[in-house]
Amino acid sequence: MHQDFAANLRLLCSYRGSIAEVCRLLKINRPQFNRYLGGRHLPSAHILRRLCDFFGVEEYEILLPAARFAELVRLRPRAPRIDAAASSPEAAHFGRLKAIGSAGLEKYLGYYFETYCSMAYPGRVLRNIVRFEQREGGVFYRRSERLIERPGERAYRAVYRGMAHFLTDRIFLVDYETLTGLEISQTILFPSFKNRITRLTGLKLGVSGSGERMPCCARVVYDYLGHSVDLRQALSLCGLYAPDDPRLDGALRTAITNDIAPGEALFRARFV
């Protein structure tokens, strides 16, 4: 595993220009990084998450056999690299949002299944896995999408990364698709008013993954899984479902139905 990880890390670094640049941006000292590249040590869980966040891959992927990982990476389009200066005008706005919107989110850390009617595959239900974690003074999340369009085909994977804000009894999520950089989505959820978190509901706004890229809005449900999960098992349960699939309970199907009740002038979120 050490040698596969080292080879995978070297491959990822080859897309970034230089090892020195990677170390500078990750704030990892060069001797320590060289030990990873040489296969002498595996990073801690915390450092591994930082590396995966930086390169836009999953933790289990970077530990795959080198040949399999190289094939996986080559199939993915590379997003253009943008190194925004910390003093840029937008940095002040994001800094303020992070400062005022992080308090109260601690109880929501952990893993969730995200379920909603697919924007790219009308008539199907899409389930993804989302992980919220607290670091660097804010709450960040990673949304992993894995789906198989037709039986026998290879699974399609996408990773979205974003930041959560808790503002006046609503949870705001904004993320972007890391592999191509061609999509931004927003989700607004009701918080849980119970001590124990089970299910959050709200609305999701994005564009369909089809060629038309039509802006769409859908009701969405977040089912809490816990602070730790078997990630491989959880990912195996992600993907496209038929609306009447028995693995989707009745309350969930009702919560993600995109209907407008008599007397409603707008498409609105609903409490569970």
CA distances to 57, 97, 114, 153 from 89, in Å:
29, 14, 33, 45
Q: From residue 226, how far is each of 52, 109, 113, 133, 161 by CA, in Å?
A: 21, 8, 10, 12, 19
Strand partners, 224: 112
**Residue spans of the chain under pLDDT 50:** 79-80, 82-86
Task: Note if the pTM is more than 0.75.
Answer: no
Specify the pLDDT at position 172.
Answer: 95
Domains of the chain (ranges plus CATH)?
Answer: 3-75 (1.10.260.40), 91-256 (2.40.128)
pLDDT at 80: 47
Element (H, E) at 205: strand 199-207
Which pLDDT value is given to residue 89? 64
Q: Phi and psi dihedrals of 99, rounded to 5?
A: -70, -40
Assigned token pair, 74: 């080559």
Could you give the C-alpha distances from 123 to 47, 147, 241, 249, 252, in angstroms and in order?
40, 15, 9, 17, 15
Please tell me the predicted confidence (pLDDT) of residue 268. 94
**Distance in angstroms (rounded) separating the CA atoms of residues 122 and 150:** 15
